[in-house]
Amino acid sequence: MLLPSDLQSALEVAGVFFAALSGALSAVRKRLDLFGVLVLAWVTGLGGGILRDVLIGAVPPVGIADPALVLTVLVAGFATSLFHLRIERLRRAVVVLDAFALGLFVVVGTLKGLQYDVGWLAALFVGTITGIGGGVVRDVLTGSVPLVLQDRQLYAIPALAGSGAVVVLWETGTLNGWTGMGVVAGVVAFRILSLWRGWVVPEAATGGWPSLWQTRRRKP
Amino acid sequence: MLLPSDLQSALEVAGVFFAALSGALSAVRKRLDLFGVLVLAWVTGLGGGILRDVLIGAVPPVGIADPALVLTVLVAGFATSLFHLRIERLRRAVVVLDAFALGLFVVVGTLKGLQYDVGWLAALFVGTITGIGGGVVRDVLTGSVPLVLQDRQLYAIPALAGSGAVVVLWETGTLNGWTGMGVVAGVVAFRILSLWRGWVVPEAATGGWPSLWQTRRRKP
Amino acid sequence: MLLPSDLQSALEVAGVFFAALSGALSAVRKRLDLFGVLVLAWVTGLGGGILRDVLIGAVPPVGIADPALVLTVLVAGFATSLFHLRIERLRRAVVVLDAFALGLFVVVGTLKGLQYDVGWLAALFVGTITGIGGGVVRDVLTGSVPLVLQDRQLYAIPALAGSGAVVVLWETGTLNGWTGMGVVAGVVAFRILSLWRGWVVPEAATGGWPSLWQTRRRKP
């Protein structure tokens, strides 16, 4: 057992809420109707977990079957459509909360893969997909190329690192509440630090990738 | 048992045919090639059911395994590519038939979820997804933001209402051929009435949603 | 058993490598970042197989669980981001290798469907989806209408023909290493011949489909 299950549930609800908030905000900016806002809150908050559950055979996915999680995205969606102007002003806070959602999703998702005994590689994939899949589906539904594929931010790399850490802890029998929370904290710190310091993924076409990231050039 | 199974099959085939017709028409308008028309007929007619079957673990999905259903979408696709000019002129009829497809899909889809014992909430989701999922996949494949997220028409709300009604009838043991057909009729009536009266979903960003729908303003 | 399993694995790895190469090239052209290149290599090389495995219930899909296959797409992705200029110059070779990938995917995919006992029609679908699904997901993620739906090239028809041939060989008990390789060769030849001779799928809207393909008109 990674965490006392009440704590694990509370953390998952928090992650879903913040991710759903960011999905709903992007729907409001794209001028979707109210139903569109609720759907985007749903896919951004729960889409990564739905992909994970389909890939590991855990059907029906919790994203359509768990009332607490579905209620969470509905609350986030309605709140956004009512208070989006105020939430926009909290943009900096939303970015931080979004980093928390990433860390929580990655740890919870990798762990679920390992519990379903899919092997370390598939667990690594589904952990990462739990973290970034919701945003990808959100972008595809709103007709954009997924941000995570093109904006050069470090989003997937903290996810992969966190997922890998969970796999290593699991395989060495050292995964417990404290180490699990440590991985969450590490992913959050990595993500926020990369934003703050402007670390980016290299463009593929420059051939510059042996230095895996580099500081974004400031304009002179 | 909801309906005599022959009747249930006949209704499903009818729903698939009308949905496939609308998918094929949109492919012709986008100037896809003949294969593209057949694929769009297939995803629009059967894509919602394929998503449903994957989400409830009913594999292989009927949308790739049932010869009668696959033949139905092929006939709709070829017919559209031959007679699309004539079908375009029947646009009003197509809208009505499309409403029938929605009602049939929602009832059949919710029922299948309940039969697979996925719980009421997941059944509600897969019923709605059966109804509107095909159109969403069609729009994503043709590079559009799904209509159902942005055009403010009442499409998902009748679907959710119908799916909820099936869940209530099932839980209270009162689901049978007559009540099931009643739900289909209710969804169709709700959908057509909303088109006729111009009811729309509020824009999310106006904050006007406490009145859940409002009459579309006529230009002066 | 279709093929000695070592040979079958080697062929699958080759198919995945060439498909991943073409996916990574399209990511470089779209100026995605390095992570985007790796993801596009992955979805193009393994996405068709992942869809197949989800549709037949073979979870977790090999595309996230098999280290050899995942390593193959990573190598293709990194190689493309380092050497894309040189690979672009080999465009003609890439087209031929891509045709090999199509043939291999179709035969391996149809066979896996038949081994999972999903019926001939579902096997036909998953064989074709294994062949063309990766390219469809690649195009959707990069915001394009899938090429296979609109460019009128014969891509899906060789796939369907190959998949149908495998089904017939399986049902008649004549599927073995030699006939299986024969189908691969037939798909490759059909695909390359269609490119060379300029055969195209008719536009749906011209109503000209009773002649299933026609020579592309040369400009005068």
Closest CA to B40 of B62, B13, B22, B17: B22
**DSSP characters for B145-196?**
--HHHHS-BSSHHHHHHHHHHHHHHHHTT--SHHHHHHHHHHHHHHHHHHHH
> A77 pLDDT band (50/70/90 cuts)?
very high
d(CA C107, CA A25): 45
| Ranges A2-11, A133-142, C122-131, C169-178, most confident | C122-131
Average pLDDT over residues C77-94: 81
- Say if C116 is an interface residue toward chain A (CB within 8 Å): no
Q: Nearest-CA distance from A47 to chain B in Å?
A: 12
Q: What is the pLDDT of residues C110-135, one digit of tens each?
A: 999 999 999 999 999 999 999 999 98
CA separation (Å) from C29 to A150, C26, C85, C107? Answer: 12, 5, 10, 30
B94-98, B115-119, B200-204, C140-144: least confident range: B200-204
**Would you say residue B33 has pLDDT above 90?**
no
* Residue at A209 is within a domain: no
Chain C residue with Cα closest to A209: C34
3-state secondary structure A3-22: CCHHHHHHHHHHHHHHHHHH
* Residue at C107 is within a domain: yes
Chains that touch C (3 or more CB pairs under 8 A): A, B
**Would you say residue B217 has pLDDT above 70?**
no
pLDDT of residue C209: 44
* Residue at C88 is within a domain: yes
Q: Report the share of chain A in percent with pLDDT over 70.
A: 89
Q: Which member of B122, B144, B151 has the closest CB to residue A65?
A: B122
Best of A21, A28, A33, A81 to disrupt the B interface (most B CBs within 10 Å) is A33
Average pLDDT over residues C106-113: 93
> A212 pLDDT band (50/70/90 cuts)?
very low
How many Å separate Cα A85 from the centre of its chain? 24
Best of B29, B30, B34 to disrupt the C interface (most C CBs within 10 Å) is B34
Chain A residue with Cα closest to C85: A205
Q: What are phi and psi of A32, to 5 degrees?
A: -70, 165
- Say if B121 is an interface residue toward chain A (CB within 8 Å): yes
CB contact under 8 A, B141 and C143: no
**Would you say residue B212 has pLDDT above 50?**
no
Per-state percent for chain A, helix, strand, coil, to nearest 5: 75, 5, 20
CB contact under 8 A, B30 and C145: yes
3-state secondary structure C42-100: HHHHHHHHHHHHHHHCCCCCHHHHCHHHHHHHHHHHHHHHHHHHHHHHCHHHHHHHHHH
d(CA A40, CA A46): 10
**Would you say residue C33 has pLDDT above 50?**
yes
Q: Are C201 and C152 in contact (CB under 8 A)?
A: yes
pLDDT of residue C204: 65
Helix (H) or strand (E) holding C199: strand C199-200
Q: Nearest-CA distance from C201 to chain A in Å?
A: 27
Mention every residue, 6+ apart, whose C-beta is less than 8 A from residue B139: B145, B146, B147
**Would you say residue A203 has pLDDT above 80?**
no
d(CA C76, CA A60): 35
CB-CB neighbours of C142 under 10 Å: 20
The token pair at C46 is: 């393994």
CB contact under 8 A, A149 and C64: no
Q: What is the pLDDT of residues B46-66, one digit of tens each?
A: 999 999 999 999 999 999 999
pLDDT of residue A75: 95
* Residue at C209 is within a domain: no
d(CA B168, CA B179): 11
Q: Report the share of chain C in percent with pLDDT over 90.
A: 48
> C63 pLDDT band (50/70/90 cuts)?
very high
d(CA C10, CA C12): 5
Give the A window 170-199 contacts with C, CB below 8 Å.
none
Which amino acid appears at position B69 of this protein?
L
CB contact under 8 A, A209 and C60: no
CB contact under 8 A, A33 and B150: yes
Q: Report the share of chain C in percent with pLDDT over 70.
A: 89
The more confident residue out of A86 and B21 is B21
8-state DSSP, A176: S
Q: Are C141 and A145 in contact (CB under 8 A)?
A: yes
Q: What is the pLDDT of residues A21-39, one digit of tens each?
A: 888 988 888 888 888 899 9
Give the A window 48-107 contacts with B, CB below 8 Å.
50, 54, 57, 59-61, 64-67, 70, 78, 80-82, 84
* Residue at B187 is within a domain: yes
Q: Are A127 and A175 in contact (CB under 8 A)?
A: no
Q: Are C102 and C188 in contact (CB under 8 A)?
A: yes
**Would you say residue C5 has pLDDT above 80?**
no
Average pLDDT over residues A77-89: 83
CB contact under 8 A, B32 and C204: yes
pLDDT of residue A73: 95
Best of A150, A163, A194 to disrupt the C interface (most C CBs within 10 Å) is A150
A125-134, B78-87, B201-210, C60-69: least confident range: B201-210
pLDDT of residue C87: 74
* Residue at B215 is within a domain: no
Residue C14 CB burial class (10 angstroms; 0-12, 13-18, ≥19): middle
pLDDT of residue A1: 46
CA separation (Å) from A8 to A46, A53, A60, A105, A190? Answer: 16, 17, 20, 11, 22
The token pair at A187 is: 């992913």
d(CA B29, CA A139): 25
A189-193, B39-43, C140-144: least confident range: C140-144
Q: Which member of C30, C35, C67 has the closest CB to residue A121?
A: C67
pLDDT of residue C1: 46
Chain C residue with Cα closest to A127: C64
Number of domains into which chain C is organized? 1
Chain A positions in Cβ-Cβ contact with residue C140 (cut-off 8 Å):
140
- Please give the ipTM for the structure prediction: 0.85
Mean pLDDT for all residues in chain C: 85
**Would you say residue A150 has pLDDT above 80?**
no
pLDDT of residue B40: 92
Mention every residue, 6+ apart, whose C-beta is less than 8 A from residue B16: B45, B46, B69, B72, B73, B76, B101
Q: Which member of B59, B81, B141 has the closest CB to residue C55?
A: B59
d(CA B91, CA B9): 26
pLDDT of residue B205: 59
CB contact under 8 A, A81 and B122: no
Mention every residue, 6+ apart, whose C-beta is less than 8 A from residue A71: none
Evaluate the CA torsion angle A156, A126, C133, A41 in order and state its sign.
Answer: negative
**Would you say residue A60 has pLDDT above 60?**
yes
Q: Report the share of chain A in percent with pLDDT over 90.
A: 48
Instruction: Give residue B143's domain range.
Output: 5-202
pLDDT of residue A215: 45
CB contact under 8 A, A200 and C82: no
**Would you say residue A70 has pLDDT above 90?**
yes
Q: What is the pLDDT of residues B173-204, one digit of tens each?
A: 999 888 998 999 999 999 999 888 888 877 76
Helix (H) or strand (E) holding B113: helix B91-115
> A55 pLDDT band (50/70/90 cuts)?
very high
Q: Nearest-CA distance from A86 to chain B in Å?
A: 12
Q: Which member of B136, B145, B204 has the closest CB to residue A143?
A: B145
* Residue at C136 is within a domain: yes
CA separation (Å) from B47 to A198, B23, B130, B139, C140? Answer: 42, 11, 8, 12, 16
Mean pLDDT for all residues in chain B: 85
**Would you say residue B112 has pLDDT above 50?**
yes
Q: Nearest-CA distance from B76 to chain C in Å?
A: 13
* Residue at B41 is within a domain: yes
Q: Which member of B35, B82, B84 has the closest CB to residue C149?
A: B35
Q: Are B130 and B104 in contact (CB under 8 A)?
A: no
**Would you say residue B165 has pLDDT above 80?**
yes
Average pLDDT over residues C96-102: 85
A1-5, A124-128, B50-54, C173-177: least confident range: A1-5
Q: Which member of C24, C39, C67 has the closest CB to residue A149?
A: C39
Chains that touch B (3 or more CB pairs under 8 A): A, C
d(CA A7, CA C57): 33
Q: Nearest-CA distance from B189 to chain C in Å?
A: 33
Chains that touch A (3 or more CB pairs under 8 A): B, C
Best of B37, B51, B64 to disrupt the C interface (most C CBs within 10 Å) is B64
Q: What is the pLDDT of residues B121-163, one digit of tens each?
A: 999 999 999 999 998 998 888 888 888 887 777 888 899 999 9
Q: What angle do CA C204, C207, C208 make, to 5 degrees?
A: 95
**Would you say residue C213 has pLDDT above 70?**
no
> Helix count (H) and strand count (E) of chain B?
9, 2
- Specify the residue for token string 């093109």: A150
